[in-house]
Amino acid sequence: MDRKCWNLLVYRVPAQPSTQRVYVWRKLKGLGALYLQQSVCILPQRENLQHQLTELKADITAGGGEADLFTIWIDVPEQNAILVERFQQQADQEYQEFLGQCRDFHSELSEERKKANLTFAELEENEAELAKLRSWLPKIRDRDLFNAQGYLQATEAFKACQLDFQSFTEQVYEAQGVKSSDV
């Protein structure tokens, strides 16, 4: 890894009300920022991120806070590698959380099967849970700025959830006396 360019955001927001602090934290989390310490974040230098950080800086100052946005270059390959690894670890933690939710999804379907609770209400409830997983995975992927290893496993786990749900759907239709071709 050669010389690498980064964006460093250092900010301070008023303690009260907390809404601005939460807003800034959510925006940075949504971008995949890595906190180096409180109110100090780093992101790789990329045009789309630069634009969003510039807007966030303006939001912070408009809300009575202070913000400095620096473009820095790190010439030491080992330091760049450490930052990339920390970004990947951060993304992998999210993928692990996603995998846990996938396991919970399978457990829920398994429990409903054991209880023979094969109703349309359960089908609808679990369809909503699957929709949450479906929308969550791309958000994690967007924040995964350095292609963490967990993405492939998370994708496979989601596919397994879809298949399990498809099987559960067929079981509900059968239990309710409805042919899937009638739906």
Specify whether 177 is located in the same domain as 114. Answer: yes
- Interacting residues of 150 by C-beta distance below 8 A, sequence separation 6+: 91, 92, 94, 95, 96, 99
Is position 50 within any domain? Answer: yes
Specify whether 71 is located in the same domain as 142. Answer: no
Q: What is the mean pLDDT of the chain?
A: 94
Specify whether 98 is located in the same domain as 31. Answer: no
Of 15 and 62, the structure prediction assigns the larger pLDDT to 62
* Token pair of 119 as six digits: 């109703």
**What pTM did the predictor assign?**
0.88
The half-sphere exposure of 148 on its side-chain side, counting CA atoms within 13 A, is 26
Specify whether 29 is located in the same domain as 64. Answer: yes
CB 140 within 8 A of CB 154: yes
Cα–Cα distance for residue pair 175/177, rounded to 1 Å: 5
pLDDT grade for 182, boundaries at 50, 70 and 90: low
Specify whether 8 is located in the same domain as 57. Answer: yes
Q: 26, 49, 75: which is the final residue of a domain? A: 75
Q: By C-alpha distance, which of 35, 31, 71 is closest to 52?
A: 31
Is position 82 within any domain? Answer: no
Provide mean pLDDT across the span 20-34: 95
CATH label of the domain that carries residue 50: 3.30.70.240
Which domain range does residue 52 map to? 4-75
Q: 75, 102, 117: which is the final residue of a domain? A: 75
Q: By C-alpha distance, which of 160, 57, 51 is closest to 105?
A: 160
pLDDT grade for 46, boundaries at 50, 70 and 90: very high
Q: By C-alpha distance, which of 47, 16, 52, 14 is closest to 33?
A: 52
Specify whether 110 is located in the same domain as 160. Answer: yes
Q: 46, 75, 104: which is the final residue of a domain? A: 75
Give per-residue pLDDT as tens, 111-129: 999 999 999 999 999 999 9
Specify whether 111 is located in the same domain as 172. Answer: yes
Is position 80 within any domain? Answer: no
Is position 11 within any domain? Answer: yes
